[in-house]
Amino acid sequence: MLKPNKHMIFTIILFLLIVLACAVVSLWLTDARARLWTSYVIGFVFSTIVGGKLIQPLSQNMHERVKGYIRAEYPQISFRRIRPLDWFPAVFGYIERPMYTASVLFGKPEFIAVWLGVKMLARWSLPRTEEDKITDSRHRYYPVLVGNLLGVAYGVAGALVIKWLKYPCRFWFALATMAILVLGTLSLTLYESYKYKNWLQNKEI
């Protein structure tokens, strides 16, 4: 099971740099055009990079735990059919989150619902064998659901950060939103790691 330590360290450092940039924008940057463009950079970096670096280890922990459940219950299943969190979903997330941010900024948040509907429809329309029905169990959809919800949350938060940083008096709104998301995702990641380790220990007893 991969450890999220490197991801966490990188993300925390990047998040602190974003907080510093927010302070500079709100307290010392007086030019309106410079403030606007800096706000866009901060918002999109937060939704795209910070969101990705935090969601990836959480999703990976959840997928590993589900694979452990399937391994214990169905030892005959080939793990080639239990797709891990490889590069494709991670890269796809880096494309999705800025799209969510842009859709909110352009006043078209309904795009998020339409896009999620298309993704789920495509997932259900794929041909499935008997092994697929086992590996694509209800437990298997939890990591996908959590990853999608967090992706939407970071995308919307990035748009809100951009809007709030345009006004110095709303700096704390942007900071609080980012801090809540970062701390919440880190807590979920640690919780998933704890649950998986406990499950392994109970299995060995």
**Which pTM value belongs to this model?**
0.82
pLDDT bin (cut points 50, 70, 90) of residue 138 is low
Across the range 135-147, mean pLDDT stands at 70
Across the range 102-116, mean pLDDT stands at 93
The residues near 166 (Cβ < 8 Å, ≥ 6 apart) are: 35, 36, 39
Predicted confidence (pLDDT) at residue 145 exceeds the cutoff of 70: yes
pLDDT at 150: 94
The residues near 9 (Cβ < 8 Å, ≥ 6 apart) are: none
Q: Which two tokens stand for residue 160?
A: 């809100």
How many Å apart are CA 137 and CA 134, to the nearest integer?
5
How many Å apart are CA 143 and CA 58, to the nearest integer?
8
Distance of CA 22 to the CA centre of its chain: 21
Q: Which two tokens stand for residue 108?
A: 């078209």
Q: Could you tell me where the DSSP H helices lie in the chain? A: 5-27, 32-45, 51-73, 87-105, 110-125, 130-135, 138-165, 171-204
- Of the given ranges (24-28, 42-46, 82-86, 151-155), which has the lowest mean pLDDT? 82-86
Across the range 9-38, mean pLDDT stands at 75
